[in-house]
């Protein structure tokens, strides 16, 4: 019997058709057409593609496509593949069984049933826990209204205590003197101990529990513990006393330091 590929090639050459024209017309790549003409069917992707390409190519050349496909099956297709396809059992379910419904147990495996049982138990436990937890809280709240009121009053009293706590008093009074121009000052610790006497042209700071200052001019700016001090501005000398609580007291001429 003449090989399949030889018959394909002779038919194509009798019609004077090039492989390129066949490729365009059949959409089969030229290398696969050439492989079929050389009986090199193993170069094609698989027997299914071989039969499809062989049928298309034979019909294009006007040959008996079914005869060539049958010859390919007989000569080149593995025996096992044809047997598996022919002996494969039908996949349709038994109609008698469908009408009667399931005879055996449910369509679940033992593992699936075990998982469903565990989930069911967990759901029941969760519902019981939520119910008992919510009821317990409600009972505690209903049984102890006096405790809630006492706690509320205690919170209010604590807030009042915090609000009534006075601001911490500094341990010393810190006085900062910033002169507008050269100014004479005398500063002591309030008990006669002199801390400074002389003229200043830049800011000076002094620290003690009590401070007294005698200024020749009232043009200087004073800060006590970081807060600006407001005092009368006059053309005469000025005397002031300071405490660590922030109190500022004017001094009479005889009570001023270095007077």
| pLDDT greater than 70 at residue 51 | yes
| pLDDT greater than 90 at residue 94 | no
Q: Cα angle vertex 142, ends 139, 147, to 5°?
A: 115
Between 229 and 136, the more confident residue is 229
| pLDDT greater than 50 at residue 189 | yes
pTM for this structure?
Answer: 0.37
145 confidence band (pLDDT: 50, 70, 90): very low
- Determine the Cα–Cα distance for residues 146 and 152; give it in Å rounded to an integer: 10
221 confidence band (pLDDT: 50, 70, 90): very high
- Determine the Cα–Cα distance for residues 232 and 89; give it in Å rounded to an integer: 117
* Residue 53: CB atoms within 10 Å: 21
Rg (the chain; Cα; Å): 56
- Determine the Cα–Cα distance for residues 165 and 175; give it in Å rounded to an integer: 26
| pLDDT greater than 50 at residue 78 | yes
Chain centroid to Cα 82, Å, comes to: 58
Which one, of 195, 199, 192, lies nearest residue 217 by Cα?
199
> Are residues 204 and 161 in contact, defined by beta-carbon separation less than 8 angstroms?
no
């Amino acid at each position: 019997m003449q090989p399949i590929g030889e018959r394909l090639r002779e038919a194509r050459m009798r019609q004077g058709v090039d492989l390129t024209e066949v490729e365009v017309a059949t959409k089969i790549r030229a290398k696969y057409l050439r492989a079929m003409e050389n009986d090199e069917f193993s170069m094609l992707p698989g027997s299914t593609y071989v039969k499809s390409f062989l049928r298309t190519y034979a019909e294009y050349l006007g040959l008996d496509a079914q005869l060539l496909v049958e010859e390919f099956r007989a000569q080149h297709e593995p025996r096992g593949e044809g047997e598996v396809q022919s002996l494969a059992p039908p996949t349709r379910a038994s109609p008698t069984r469908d009408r009667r419904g399931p005879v055996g147990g449910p369509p679940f495996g033992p593992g699936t049933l075990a998982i469903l049982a565990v989930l069911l138990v967990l759901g029941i436990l969760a519902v019981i826990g939520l119910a008992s937890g919510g009821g317990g809280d409600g009972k505690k709240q209903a049984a102890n209204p006096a405790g809630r009121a006492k706690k509320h009053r205690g919170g209010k009293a604590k807030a009042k205590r915090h609000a009534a706590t006075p601001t911490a008093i500094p341990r010393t009074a810190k006085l900062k003197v910033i002169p507008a121009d050269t100014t004479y000052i005398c500063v002591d610790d309030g008990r006669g101990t002199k801390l400074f006497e002389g003229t200043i042209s830049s800011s000076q700071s002094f620290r003690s529990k009590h401070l007294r200052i005698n200024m020749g001019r009232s043009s200087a700016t004073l800060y006590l513990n970081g807060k600006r001090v407001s005092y009368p501005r006059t053309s005469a000398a000025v005397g002031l006393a300071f405490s660590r609580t922030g109190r500022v007291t004017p001094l009479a001429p005889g009570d001023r330091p270095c007077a």
